[in-house]
Amino acid sequence: MTGPALLLEGITKIYPGTVALENVHFEALPGEVHGLIGKNGAGKTTLVGILAGLIEPTEGRITIGGKVFSSLSRARAKKEGVAIVPQEPEIILDLSVAENLFLGDLGSAGAIVDWRKLRKNAESILSMYGLDIGVDLQARDLSLSERQLLLILKACVVEDARVIILDESSAPLSGKDVQILRRIVEGLKASGKAIVYISHNIDELLGICDRLTVLRDGRVIAERERLGLDHQSLSELVIGEGFSRSSARSGSLPPAGREEFLRVEGLSRWGVFEDISFSLHRGEILGIAGLRGSGRTEILKALAGIEPADEGTLFLRGQPIRPRTPGSALSRGIAYLPEERDAEGLLRFFSIRDNLVLNSIDKFSKWGFLSWEKCSRLASEIFREVQLKAFSIHQDVDELSGGNRQKVVIGRIMANSPDVYLLDEPTRGVDIGAKQAILSIICGRIRSRSGVIITSPGLDDLVDVCDRILVLRNGLVVREYARYQFDEKKIFLDMQGFGIRNRRGGTECQAV
Amino acid sequence: MSGSLRLELALLDNIIWLMLAAFFALCALTIPNFASWNNLVNILYHTTIMSMLVLAQGFVLMSGHLDLSIDAILAFAPGVAILAAVKWFPGVLGNPWIAIALTLAIGALLGLFNGVCIASLGMNAFMQTLSVSIILRGLILFLIPLSIFPLDPVYSFIGKSRITVLGNLPAAIPVTFFIYFFFHILLKYTVFGRNYLATGGNPRASFVAGINTRRMIILGFVTAGVLSAVAGMLTAGRQDSVSNTMGSGMTLLAFAGALLGGTSMSGGKGSAFGMLGGAILLGMFSNALNLLGVKVTLIHAAQGTLIFLAILVDRFRAALRSSILRKDQLRRLHHHSVHEQAEKVISS
Q: What DSSP line would sit under B228-256, residue for residue?
A: HHHHHHHHHHHHTSB-TTTTTTHHHHHHH
Banded pLDDT at A501 (limits 50, 70, 90)? very low
Give the pLDDT of residue A307: 87
Q: Looking at beta carbons, which residues of chain A come within 8 Å of B191? A: 361-362, 365, 368-370
Q: Looking at beta carbons, which residues of chain A come within 8 Å of B189? A: 369-370, 372
Which residue of B197, B207, B208, B331 is the best one to mutate when testing the A interface, meaning the one whose CB has the most A CBs within 10 A? B208
Which of B190, B201, B325 is nearest residue A350 as measured by Cβ atoms? Answer: B201
Three-state secondary structure string covering A228-262: HCCHHHHHHHHHCCCCCCCCCCCCCCCCCCCCEEE
- End residue of a domain, out of A173, A208, A239: A239
- Give the residue on A whose Cα is nearest the Cα of B185: A369
Give the type of residue at A300: L
- Give the residue on B whose Cα is nearest the Cα of A328: B210
Comparing C-alpha atoms, which of A213, A240, A226, A229 is closest to residue A51?
A213
The answer to whether residue A10 scores a pLDDT higher than 80 is yes
- Give the residue on A whose Cα is nearest the Cα of B210: A327
Domain check: are A103 and A89 in the same one? no
Reported as a single tens digit per residue, the pLDDT across A376-418 is 888 888 888 888 877 778 878 877 777 788 888 888 888 888 8
Q: Looking at beta carbons, which residues of chain B come within 8 Å of A365? A: 190-191
Angle at B255 between CA B251 and CA B258, to 5 degrees: 130
| Alpha-carbon span B178 to A111, nearest angstrom | 60
List B residues 103-162 in contact with A (Cβ-Cβ < 8 A). none
Give the pLDDT of residue B318: 75
Q: Looking at beta carbons, which residues of chain A come within 8 Å of B205? A: 338, 343-347
Helix (H, G, I), strand (E, B) or coil at A384: helix
Q: Hey, are the CB atoms on B209 and A358 less than 8 Å from each other?
A: yes
Domain check: are A390 and A485 in the same one? yes
The nearest CA of chain A is from the CA of B207 a distance in Å of 7
- End residue of a domain, out of A115, A137, A159: A137
CB B306 within 8 A of CB B251: no
Q: Looking at beta carbons, which residues of chain A come within 8 Å of B204? A: 343-344
Give me the residues of chain B with pLDDT under 50, please.
none
Q: Hey, are the CB atoms on A394 and B268 less than 8 Å from each other?
A: no
Query: Looking at the complex, does the CB of residue A343 fall below 8 Å from at least one CB of chain B?
Result: yes
Q: Hey, are the CB atoms on A361 and B212 less than 8 Å from each other?
A: no
- Give the residue on B whose Cα is nearest the Cα of A358: B209
Banded pLDDT at A181 (limits 50, 70, 90)? confident
Domain check: are A133 and A145 in the same one? no
Phi and psi dihedrals of B153, rounded to 5?
-60, -30
| Residue of A286 and A258 predicted with greater confidence | A286
The answer to whether residue A506 scores a pLDDT higher than 50 is no
Query: Looking at the complex, does the CB of residue A344 fall below 8 Å from at least one CB of chain B?
Result: yes
What kind and span of H or E run contains A20? strand A18-28
Beta bridge partners of B169: B163
Comparing C-alpha atoms, which of A375, A413, A406, A410 is closest to residue A393?
A375
Beta bridge partners of A32: A194
Domain check: are A11 and A152 in the same one? yes
Reported as a single tens digit per residue, the pLDDT across B106-152 is 999 999 999 999 999 999 999 999 999 999 999 999 999 888 888 88
pTM of the predicted structure, to 2 decimals = 0.74
Give the pLDDT of residue A243: 40
Query: Looking at the complex, does the CB of residue B211 fall below 8 Å from at least one CB of chain A?
Result: yes
Beta bridge partners of B259: none
For chain A, give the percent of residues with pLDDT over 90: 3
| Alpha-carbon span A265 to B237, nearest angstrom | 64
CB B114 within 8 A of CB B225: yes
- End residue of a domain, out of A105, A137, A169: A137
Whether residue A277 lies inside any domain: the answer is yes
Q: What DSSP line would sit under A23-75, residue for residue?
A: EEEEEE-TTEEEEEEE-TTSSHHHHHHHHHTSS--SEEEEEETTEEES---HH
Query: Looking at the complex, does the CB of residue A350 fall below 8 Å from at least one CB of chain B?
Result: yes
Domain range holding A267?
Answer: 260-496
Reported as a single tens digit per residue, the pLDDT across A456-477 is 877 878 888 888 899 988 888 8
Whether residue A508 lies inside any domain: the answer is no
Average pLDDT for residues A129-149, to the nearest whole number? Answer: 81
Q: Hey, are the CB atoms on A344 and B268 less than 8 Å from each other?
A: no
Q: Looking at beta carbons, which residues of chain B come within 8 Å of A346? A: 202, 205
Query: Looking at the complex, does the CB of residue A370 fall below 8 Å from at least one CB of chain B?
Result: yes
Angle at A487 between CA A339 and CA A282, to 5 degrees: 55
Domain check: are A207 and A307 in the same one? no
| Alpha-carbon span A295 to A435, nearest angstrom | 24
Query: Looking at the complex, does the CB of residue B192 fall below 8 Å from at least one CB of chain A?
Result: yes
Whether residue A251 lies inside any domain: the answer is no
- Give the residue on B whose Cα is nearest the Cα of A391: B1
Q: Hey, are the CB atoms on A347 and B192 less than 8 Å from each other?
A: no
Q: Is the ipTM of this complex over 0.85?
A: no
The answer to whether residue A330 scores a pLDDT higher than 90 is no
Query: Looking at the complex, does the CB of residue B202 fall below 8 Å from at least one CB of chain A?
Result: yes
Which of A325, A329, A369 is nearest residue B190 as measured by Cβ atoms? Answer: A369
- Enumerate domains of chain B plus CATH numbers: 3-347 (1.10.3470)
Domain check: are A130 and A171 in the same one? no
Domain check: are A192 and A55 in the same one? yes
The nearest CA of chain A is from the CA of B83 a distance in Å of 38
Between B250-260 and B37-62, two packed helices, what is the crossing angle to 10 degrees?
90
Domain check: are A122 and A45 in the same one? no
The radius of gyration of chain A's CA atoms, rounded to the nearest angstrom, is 25
CB B228 within 8 A of CB B28: no
CATH of the domain at A343: 3.40.50.300
CB A390 within 8 A of CB A400: yes
Q: Looking at beta carbons, which residues of chain B come within 8 Å of A329? A: 210
Q: Hey, are the CB atoms on A365 and B190 less than 8 Å from each other?
A: yes
Whether residue A177 lies inside any domain: the answer is yes
Whether residue A510 lies inside any domain: the answer is no
Domain check: are A276 and A156 in the same one? no
Average pLDDT for residues A74-96, to the nearest whole number? Answer: 79
* Residues near A429 by beta carbon (within 8 Å), at least 6 away in sequence: A341, A402, A406
Whether residue A501 lies inside any domain: the answer is no
Q: Looking at beta carbons, which residues of chain B come within 8 Å of A330? A: 209-210
Which of B191, B208, B264 is nearest residue A361 as measured by Cβ atoms? Answer: B191
Domain check: are A152 and A211 in the same one? yes
Give the pLDDT of residue A245: 45
Whether residue A397 lies inside any domain: the answer is yes
Q: Hey, are the CB atoms on A391 and B1 less than 8 Å from each other?
A: yes
Domain check: are A168 and A303 in the same one? no
Q: Hey, are the CB atoms on B201 and A395 less than 8 Å from each other?
A: no
| Residues written for chain B | 348
| Alpha-carbon span B276 to B262, nearest angstrom | 10
Domain check: are A280 and A177 in the same one? no
Total domain count for chain A? Answer: 3
The answer to whether residue A426 scores a pLDDT higher than 70 is yes
Name the DSSP class of B119.
I
Q: Hey, are the CB atoms on B210 and A347 less than 8 Å from each other?
A: no
Query: Looking at the complex, does the CB of residue B332 fall below 8 Å from at least one CB of chain A?
Result: yes
Whether residue A247 lies inside any domain: the answer is no
